[in-house]
Structure 1
């Protein structure tokens, strides 16, 4: 009896192992990893300085992934390594350009209105308007004494120091009245308070025998301090009043009717 012959399916021949192609692939992969390390470091510095570059590079990477997914044919290992190297080279160049581009300078904080007024007076040629903020407390006392001399006072002396009992500058006005001035070189938001006025009010008339007592500051006065000064007849000259006095655009503080606080 004859047995039917069975047909055997031919075995599918797989691809043969290519040592040379494998070695080339791993060499290219190692090169890409090294270049990727340097690129990642440069990109990290660029993103830290400019976060917008991180968003741009993520968009580029997403576009490359989508473009790769749409291709039907299977790319070879050499093509993948070549395109990876090109992408890394382009990303590295972009990151280096970002590092070389100087960061924009921060915007300067707007100056207060008093600073604008002071600079405007200097620009107009007012010679008696120094930069009071740049003076030390001792230089500020000298500047106030110079204003008194400029406006006709005599026997002008700077007496501020230890044991001055609140008097920094003393002078005699052109009308013959004795002036006693306390100088407060304050900066920022520091204001002259009522306690400062009370200490000065306790000595300016009884100890220094002032006809006119003035408190001059580069800052401002608190409301209680201004109220106490008005009650005691002390003339308060704040920053705006000082600038106007320095520029000669306002009456001198010891003028008639100057017993009210200057705003």
Structure 2
């Protein structure tokens, strides 16, 4: 039994030695071949190393640039939100053109592009035009009214006419007051984003414009809120 074990151990040892010798011979042969062919292959070796170094460096620079840009965009957004804060009392005190500029600035803060204020006499019902972050065109009507006043359904229909006139994908009505019941229903039924006073407060304090679509047609409160508003502003 012991003799068999010794034979197996000897055989295993011999196989390991054979593998080491084979590896050594292969290594020596590889080095010899590399030396013999170096004059031919060195440009390819150097080129491969150079490409690898340049590629790795390029990837590192790209990754670093993305991180820096991401941090910069985050800082700019937070700064824009902070700088854009206004109390609703301050917004109420704005002139009509100031309010339109204020709305345009909020749009730019949220990534909208080609934003411009176009409100003037004969503006065909549009005060601000531009593109949403997803590329859709938008037309915005801005009404800086006393909170006691309600937006009528006729004013919402005027905006719908403006949307057709400008062939805009999205119509948005932004106001410092609230919509009447028929006006709110007209807006929701025709996919108009109705940004009333409560939603304007959310938008002003950092909620992104596209996120307001999720609460469109809600948030004006019940009769108790209406009574409270009437008592506050009369």
1:152 is aligned to 2:111: yes
Residue 166 of structure 2 corresponds to which residue in structure 1? 208
The CA deviation string for residues 200-250 of structure 1, in whole angstroms up to 9 with x for no partner, is 11221x2111111100000010000000111111010011100111101x3
Report SS of the residue matched to 2:162: coil
* CA–CA distance in structure 2, aligned partners of residues 231 and 261 of structure 1: 10
Once the 2 structures are TM-superposed, how far is the Cα of residue 255 of structure 1 from its aligned partner? Answer: 4.4
* CA–CA distance in structure 2, aligned partners of residues 138 and 257 of structure 1: 25
Once the 2 structures are TM-superposed, how far is the Cα of residue 128 of structure 1 from its aligned partner? Answer: 1.9
Residue 74 of structure 2 corresponds to which residue in structure 1? none
The CA deviation string for residues 100-128 of structure 1, in whole angstroms up to 9 with x for no partner, is xxxxxxxxxxxxxxxxxxxxxxxxx9432
Residue 92 of structure 2 corresponds to which residue in structure 1? 133
Residue 230 of structure 1 corresponds to which residue in structure 2? 188
Residue 85 of structure 1 corresponds to which residue in structure 2? none
* CA–CA distance in structure 1, aligned partners of residues 105 and 218 of structure 2: 20
* CA–CA distance in structure 2, aligned partners of residues 215 and 223 of structure 1: 15
Count of residue pairs brought into register by the alignment: 136
Cα RMSD, aligned residues only: 1.9
Residue 168 of structure 1 corresponds to which residue in structure 2? 127
* CA–CA distance in structure 1, aligned partners of residues 212 and 83 of structure 2: 25
TM-score of the superposed pair, with normalisation by structure 2:
0.54
Report SS of the residue matched to 2:84: coil
* CA–CA distance in structure 2, aligned partners of residues 193 and 260 of structure 1: 17
Residue 189 of structure 1 corresponds to which residue in structure 2? 148
- Distance of aligned partners of 1:188 and 1:160 in 2 relative to their CA distance in 1, 3 Å threshold: same
8 Å CA contact retained: 1:183, 1:216: yes
The CA deviation string for residues 132-167 of structure 1, in whole angstroms up to 9 with x for no partner, is 011001100000000011111111100001111111
TM-score of the superposed pair, with normalisation by structure 1:
0.49
- Distance of aligned partners of 1:163 and 1:262 in 2 relative to their CA distance in 1, 3 Å threshold: farther
8 Å CA contact retained: 2:139, 2:172: yes
Report SS of the residue matched to 2:165: coil
Once the 2 structures are TM-superposed, how far is the Cα of residue 129 of structure 1 from its aligned partner? Answer: 2.3
Report SS of the residue matched to 1:228: helix
1:260 is aligned to 2:211: no
* CA–CA distance in structure 2, aligned partners of residues 133 and 207 of structure 1: 30
* CA–CA distance in structure 2, aligned partners of residues 262 and 160 of structure 1: 27
* CA–CA distance in structure 1, aligned partners of residues 213 and 109 of structure 2: 21
* CA–CA distance in structure 2, aligned partners of residues 262 and 212 of structure 1: 19
Larger proportion of helix = 2
